[in-house]
A and B are shown apart, each in its own frame.
Chain A
Amino acid sequence: MQIWLNYLDQILIYAAFAISLNLLLGYAGQVSVAHAAFGAIGGYTMGYLMMTRGWNFLPTALIGMVLAFIAGTIVALPALKLSVEYLILLTLAISSVIIGVFTTFPELGGTYGLIGINTPDIFGWTLGHPSDWVIPSLIMMLVTYGLCRRMGESAFGRVLKGIREDDRVTQALGKNVFAYKVGVFGITAGLAGLAGAFYSGWLQLATPSVYGFSFALTLFAIVIFGGMANLTGSIVGAAAVVLLEPLLRRVIKIDPATAALLQLVIYGLALVVLMMLRPQGVFPEGFSLWRLIRGKRAPTTRVEMTDSWVPTPTVQVHQIELDEIDDAERSRERRREEVWQNAPVVLEARGISKRFGGIVAADDLDIDFRKGTITALVGPNGAGKTTVFNLLTGFIRPDRGSVKMHGVELVGLSPDKVARLGLVRSFQDVRLVNRVSCVQNVMMAVQGQSGENLGKLMLGGSSARRGEKATREKAMNWLGFVGMADFADVPAGAVSYGQSKLISLARALATEAEVLLLDEPASGIDTRWVDTMLDLVEAVREQGRTVCIVEHNLHVVGRLADHTYFMELGRITAQGTIDELTHREELAEAYFGTV
């Protein structure tokens, strides 16, 4: 019996390690192989303090957790801007440094490590037998599970998933990607430290080989088996990995030495086979064991995506006949230009310049956006229109010049800060977060969610849940606004290109930003939908928001723009109504190549 309880203890401790690793790997997409090393920090701290200072188990475990948290936070700082390959390498190096440092100190047992750590006791209860460890390990695992689940399945976790798939988009929606990454790295490292203290306490060992590379790989394997971004899966994965050994030894009766090797061969091959057959793991993201047990299936909200589907926005669509531009139309344009000239300036860019090596991407640009109007930026390919968006929103820092919104200087601010101040952009290539639902994509854009604040998430009781409900309502409104409410629970990766453009508009709108920069809102979508899209942009103008569009299609510009800037080779060479611009020969030549 004791031997099976021993396996149970091991499952619980491994599961705790794997759950926090899963938050980092599965939710936030940060591939770290240093999790075992952070565990070692917890284990060694606990062992050292217990052996030399005679401290009690629980306080030493907590100190280990705090030290691992600090180490994790420090490691996260250089790790933030690295691509996946470099992050893997960095965490490999960090593991070697951490384990190397422990091996170097004779006080920590050198290469042998700390052996024979005193039997821990918690509040006078001596944990001498495997049966004593079940309840403390279970509590520790459940605390880890609870914390990670609360972080993963909330507004906070939604941002993590956004970072996993596209950190630029997440930043463009006003999320401080930097703080999230550091936070999640530090917290998961801290939780690994806690699990490490329990692991070492249970083994009564803290040695370099216990936390060596094969342990790191085992944890990785558990997360992959169980399924990324599925915490329950990690528990099942831990059980599968741990129970493989008794299965081989006791059931198939292989001698212990061979069984241990065979176990590793099976892990390894299973990882390869799993990647080939079921890369999402045994329990994929969003799969709930509970729902299955209670006989409920995942909510099916599939909408037939037939050719005849046309979005039905909740705005009044007033069709405008787009005839040849006649005199009446021309006077209408002039009226709009007048409106633009008299509207108050919201955003004012002056002398914006940027060079990449010898290439001038932006040369002394002066641009105004005015309240309640649509400004268009047109020009040939490579004129630098999208670069202007990048320069205004802080994705690229200009060499010179200033961007002021209501008098506040934006140059030098990070893109997320710019977005929070009310200047939000969309992307030409849409860039939805494909593995989450459409409504979640829009929810991500809602500002000031209490569930994104870790303090409120952990200590605020039900406020995060209420906030989540309100966020969903807002998001549903915006989805309804663009006519996509039926697709709320469909994964964003499953909708058509035109639909994804609508969702990306809803996402930009949901930020409630005062100024919206839309990068080719109507390009690449079905001609039947172009008018719907244009109606929506006009409706946004009617709400008093300030819009700037980058567009190739002069038809679209003619319908939407109140004022048009013409760009060539990084310079603004003309401005005025689109009609004025298209009647200037040199511009027509620059744009179309011929007259």
Chain B
Amino acid sequence: MLFAVFNAETVAQLTANGIFRGAAYGILGVGFALILGVTGRFHFAYAFTYTLAAYMVFTFKERWAVPFWIAAVVGIVAVGFVGVGIERFIYRPLARRARETALLAIFVASLGIAIAGENIIRLLWSSSSQNLLGPQQEAYTLLKASFLNFDVWEAASSFGLVVILALLLRYTSLGRSIKATRANPELAQTIGIEANQIYLICFFIGTVLCGVAAFWYGLQFTIAPDMGQSPVIFAFVVAFLAGTASSPIRVFFVGIGVALIQQYASIWLSVRWTQTAVFVVLVIYLSWLSLRQTDPIAWAKAKLARI
């Protein structure tokens, strides 16, 4: 089935799917871009914190019988602190020690955390998938597209958090400190911004954002120890396509764009090809970057420095 039926109904449904799934890609991308852009850590263990968030909520709710919404908030915030711990006790000492090879050392350690973390979850909670049960699921139909109440909540909460983050970056002194650190940590230090503190804050915010995405995913589908592997790759893709120094709103919409490409690709391509299609787009984009002979991060930093 290389050519699927092409009609208004399909397009409406695919658009809706793209927006809802894109909201998840978007919020994941925003969190990852914040971490990579500000701290420069290639935080592969983002996959682990994602999975852990869903399992924390699950454990609070199912095993300890905490009321659902409280479990959700506590679980997501708790995983934020896990992110902070990874930065404080693993990445920071590594960066201090490895200096010029810090990026590779942190990437390797981060891989290690991701591998160990996933399997610790398997050992503690079993390898099979679990159901995270919450409020009643309801289906709606609007403009020929059908979706669930969870979809709406997910997209709304994701967008809301991204807007809050964008406002925080733009209008608060904390936000300005984060942006200054992103542009130049040493320089920020000289005007009294404690870069280490900013890094911890970024890890907290980034990890909470990925926790939110994991929570909604778990509520709609099931939770499993390897659930983080695919979303984290999309988080990378979105963050890199949008640029790690971009505004969160922009990153978020790039996420929706990626999901829409993926959905629309299914009109012309068999469903099995859609994921590959996204990566092909990414490879083309990266090749184009390479051909322009510019280092996008350096370019973005130079651009920021001029503002």
Contact = CB atoms under 8 A, between A and B. Distances in A.
B292 to A, nearest CB: 8
A81 B112 CA distance: 27
B113 interface: yes
Interface in A216-268: 217, 220-221, 224, 258, 261-262, 264-268
Given A89-B237, A258-B123, A261-B119, A268 B94 contact: no
B160 interface: no
Contact of B123 (A92, A103, A262): A262
Contacts of B93: 276
B129 interface: no
Interface in A268-284: 268-272, 275-276, 279
A41 to B, nearest CB: 15
Contacts of B289: 82, 86
Contacts of B297: 83, 85
A85 B33 CA distance: 12
Given A89-B237, A265-B120, A271 B283 contact: no
Contacts of A261: 119, 122-123, 127
Contact of B112 (A101, A104, A214, A267): A267
A93 B123 contact: no
A78 B282 CA distance: 11
A86 B104 contact: no
A88 B119 contact: no
A139 interface: no
B116 A268 contact: yes
B293 interface: yes
A268 B283 contact: no
Contacts of A77: 287, 290
A111 to B, nearest CB: 9
B293 A97 contact: no
Interface stretch (B136-144, B206-214, B269-277): B269-277
A217 B115 contact: yes
A31 interface: yes
B296 interface: yes
B279 A97 contact: yes
Contact of A89 (B112, B119, B229, B286): B286
B240 interface: yes
Interface residues of B, number: 52
A225 to B, nearest CB: 10
A269 B109 CA distance: 8
B233 interface: yes
Interface string A85-118: 1101110111011001101100000000000000
A40 B14 CA distance: 33
Given A258-B123, A268-B112, A275 B287 contact: no
Contacts of B122: 261
A85 B42 contact: yes
Contacts of A61: none
A85 B243 CA distance: 12
A78 B287 contact: yes
Interface in B33-55: 36, 42
B33 to A, nearest CB: 12
Given A81-B295, A279-B94, 10 more contacts: A81-B293, A83-B298, A88-B107, A104-B272, A217-B115, A258-B123, A267-B112, A272-B90, A272-B109, A279-B98
18 contacts: A90-B282, A92-B233, A94-B283, A96-B233, A96-B275, A96-B276, A97-B283, A101-B276, A220-B111, A258-B123, A261-B119, A261-B127, A262-B119, A266-B116, A268-B115, A269-B116, A271-B111, A272-B116
Interface of A: 31, 77-86, 88-90, 92-94, 96-97, 100-101, 103-104, 213-214, 217, 220-221, 224, 258, 261-262, 264-272, 275-276, 279
Nearest 3 A/B pairs, CB to CB: A268-B116, A271-B112, A78-B287
